[in-house]
């Protein structure tokens, strides 16, 4: 656990965007900002890009969305929008970069404080593992959704600097090995056996030696194979969202055959995807495997439903987006044409944007309820 004193950041929930309504929201003309790959690649030589802010200030950035913002040229090819309306101005980009640099500068200075005082006393292999854990933690929480909250920008700069320093330390240590300790040199001299005395002691103490107990075999714990994602967002809203699959008019607009015919079937579906915790049990958890045969035309809508669920649930529980994509790949035949889960994740934003238009156009009751839920997604800017 790191960054306990970092404002705008919670060590469990991550970046705090509660004040997002007070500040502008940024996005690319190519769509909303999406997180980087969840798994960090430790084999990359140097996964950072240097940004020159001035003659005396430069930063190394790996977060893809911040790179888009800081590298954006407002006068030539402006690709960053403010509140989905106007292109970002160069002065505002500089203002955000200055805030980011302030956090970046402090993060550089506080690296050893963040990684812990015991780090320097660890052995080489322990240091490597500690750095891998630290780097993974930084990478997981380094995600700019688009909320230009000053505290958020500052926190992202702080975490980015921590990631750069952690990677630097790890790069310097990863190819080193512990030196084997040389065996002590023992000089052997002739040993002369002294004659035994004629007088033997009256009593010889014989110590009983008990055999050391055999160590018990280590206990092996099997990994949890549960693929369900825990939901903390109100289950009733998630249910209303996924009931869009029951909307006949929506299916007609998408030109796909209707697959689900009752709310119980939707609950059964949700029971195969998500588990509930400390809230009304709207559906029962199901461990039975079932592969839904659905037309490829369902890709857009399924991406929307899963992406919206991910965004809503993230405000309560941080689960990587790739886990939601894994559910799409393993449960719906619509995604058979995708070779990897990463391909689904990369195409998710475009597909869900297409589906939003279909949901908005439908006058069906289920689609209307789903659209109300979509309006609650923090990063979605929808028409009324």
The number of domains in the chain is: 2
Task: Give the Cα-Cα-Cα angle 125, 130, 135 (nearest 5 degrees).
Answer: 125
Q: How far apart are CA 265 and CA 235, in angstroms?
A: 15
The yes-or-no verdict on residue 95 having pLDDT over 90 is yes
- Within this chain, do residues 169 and 28 fall inside the same structural domain, yes or no? yes
Claim to verify: residue 164 and residue 238 sit in the same structural domain: no
Residue 58, in any domain of the structure: yes
Domain final residue pick, 133, 151, 173: 173
Q: Label residue 192 by pLDDT band (50, 70, 90).
A: very low
* 151 lies in some domain: yes
The average pLDDT across 131-145 equals 91
Separation of alpha carbons 245 and 297, rounded Å: 12
Cβ-proximal residues to 288 (8 Å cutoff; 6+ apart), any chain: 272
User: Cα 1 vs. chain centroid, distance in angstroms?
Assistant: 15
| Residue ending a domain, choose from 153, 173, 193 | 173
Q: Would you tell me the crossing angle of helices 263-273 and 235-242 to the nearest 10 degrees? A: 120
The model's pLDDT over 281-294, given as tens digits with 9 standing for 90+, comes to 889 888 888 899 99
Give yes or no for residue 10 having a pLDDT over 90.
no
Are residues 250 and 365 located together in one domain of the fold? yes
Shared-domain flag, residues 237 and 306:
yes
Q: How much is the average pLDDT of 270-278?
A: 89
Residue 260 and residue 156 in one domain? no
Q: Are residues 146 and 241 in the same domain?
A: no
Specify whether 169 is located in the same domain as 260: no
Helical ranges in the chain per DSSP H: 64-71, 90-109, 111-115, 124-141, 150-173, 235-242, 248-254, 263-273, 299-314, 321-331, 341-361, 365-374
What is d(CA 260, CA 267) in angstroms, rounded to the nearest whole number?
11
Rounded distance, CA 42 to CA 170, Å?
9
Which DSSP state fits 26? E
Q: Is residue 222 a part of any domain in this protein?
A: no
Tokens for 258, please give them: 């209707």
pLDDT band at 384 (very low <50, low <70, confident <90, very high): low
Are residues 24 and 382 in contact, defined by beta-carbon separation less than 8 angstroms?
Answer: no
On whether both 161 and 278 belong to a single domain, the answer is: no
> pLDDT tens for residues 319-333?
888 899 999 999 999
pLDDT class of 219 with cuts at 50, 70, 90: very low
Q: How confident is the model at residue 198 (pLDDT cuts 50, 70, 90)?
A: low
Whether 208 has a pLDDT exceeding 50, the answer reads: no
Residue 275: band (very low, low, confident or very high) from pLDDT cuts 50, 70, 90: very high
Q: Give the domain extent around 140.
A: 9-173
Residues 125 and 239 reside in one and the same domain: no
The residue ranking higher by pLDDT, 36 or 130, is 130
Average pLDDT over residues 204-208: 46
Judge contact between 316 and 232, C-beta under 8 A: yes
The Cα-based distances of 314 to 233, 267, 269, 320, 378 in angstroms read 8, 21, 21, 9, 10
pLDDT in tens, 37-72: 656 778 777 889 999 888 788 999 999 999 999 988
Domain boundary among 135, 157, 173: 173
Regarding whether 134 and 22 lie in a shared domain, the answer is yes
The pLDDT assigned to 38 comes to: 59
The mean pLDDT value of the chain amounts to 84
> Is residue 221 assigned to a domain?
no
What is the Cα–Cα distance from 76 to 68, expressed in whole angstroms?
Answer: 14
- What pLDDT sits at residue 196? 54
Are 56 and 163 members of one domain?
A: yes
Query: 142 with 22, same domain?
Result: yes
Residues of the chain with pLDDT > 90: what percent?
47
Helix segments in 174-298, DSSP class H: 235-242, 248-254, 263-273
- In-domain check, residue 293: yes
Task: Among 72-76, 254-258, 324-328, name the one with the lowest average pLDDT.
Answer: 72-76
pLDDT, one tens digit per residue, over 116-132 is: 878 888 999 999 999 99
- Residue 63 placed within a domain: yes
CB 245, CB 260: distance < 8 Å: yes
Closest CA to 66 of 152, 144, 136, 138: 144
Q: Across-strand partners of 14?
A: 10
Tokens in use for 283?
């559906």
Token look-up 């990863």 returns 174
Whether 213 is covered by a domain: the verdict is no
Query: What pLDDT, on the 0 to 100 scale, is given for residue 294?
Result: 92
Which residues, 6 or more positions from 68, have their beta carbon under 8 angstroms from its beta carbon? Answer: 28, 33, 79, 80
């Amino acid at each position: 656990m790191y960054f306990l004193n970092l404002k705008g950041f919670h060590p469990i929930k991550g970046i705090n965007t509660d004040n997002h309504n007070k500040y502008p929201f940024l996005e690319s003309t190519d769509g909303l900002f999406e997180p980087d790959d969840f798994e960090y690649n430790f084999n990359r030589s140097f996964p950072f890009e240097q940004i020159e802010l001035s003659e005396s200030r430069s930063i190394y950035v790996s977060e893809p969305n911040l790179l888009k913002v800081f590298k954006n040229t407002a006068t030539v090819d402006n690709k960053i929008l403010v509140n989905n309306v106007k292109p970002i101005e160069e002065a505002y980009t500089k203002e955000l970069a200055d805030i980011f640099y302030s956090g970046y500068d402090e993060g550089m200075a506080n690296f050893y404080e963040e990684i812990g005082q015991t780090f320097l006393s660890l052995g080489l292999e322990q240091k490597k593992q500690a750095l891998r854990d630290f780097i993974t933690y930084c990478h997981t929480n380094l995600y700019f959704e688009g909320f230009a909250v000053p505290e958020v920008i500052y926190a992202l700069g702080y975490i980015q600097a921590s990631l750069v320093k952690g990677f630097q330390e790890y790069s310097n240590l990863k190819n080193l090995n512990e030196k084997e300790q040389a065996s002590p040199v023992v000089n052997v001299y002739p040993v002369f056996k002294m004659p035994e005395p004629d007088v033997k002691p009256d009593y010889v103490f014989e110590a009983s030696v008990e055999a050391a107990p055999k160590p018990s075999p280590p206990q092996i714990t099997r990994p949890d194979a549960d693929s369900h994602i825990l939901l903390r967002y109100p289950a009733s809203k998630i249910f209303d969202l996924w009931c869009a699959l029951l909307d006949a008019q929506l299916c007609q607009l998408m030109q796909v055959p209707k697959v689900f015919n009752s709310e119980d079937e939707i609950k059964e579906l949700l029971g195969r995807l998500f588990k509930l915790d400390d809230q009304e049990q709207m559906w029962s958890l199901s461990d039975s495997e079932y592969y839904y045969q659905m037309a490829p035309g369902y890709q857009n809508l399924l991406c929307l439903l899963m992406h919206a669920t991910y965004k809503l649930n993230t405000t309560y529980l941080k689960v990587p987006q790739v886990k939601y994509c894994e559910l799409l790949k393993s449960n719906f035949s619509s995604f058979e044409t995708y070779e990897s889960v990463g391909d689904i994740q990369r195409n998710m934003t475009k597909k869900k944007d297409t589906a939003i238009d279909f949901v908005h156009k439908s006058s069906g009751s289920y689609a209307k309820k789903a659209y109300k839920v979509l309006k609650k997604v923090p990063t979605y800017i929808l028409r009324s």
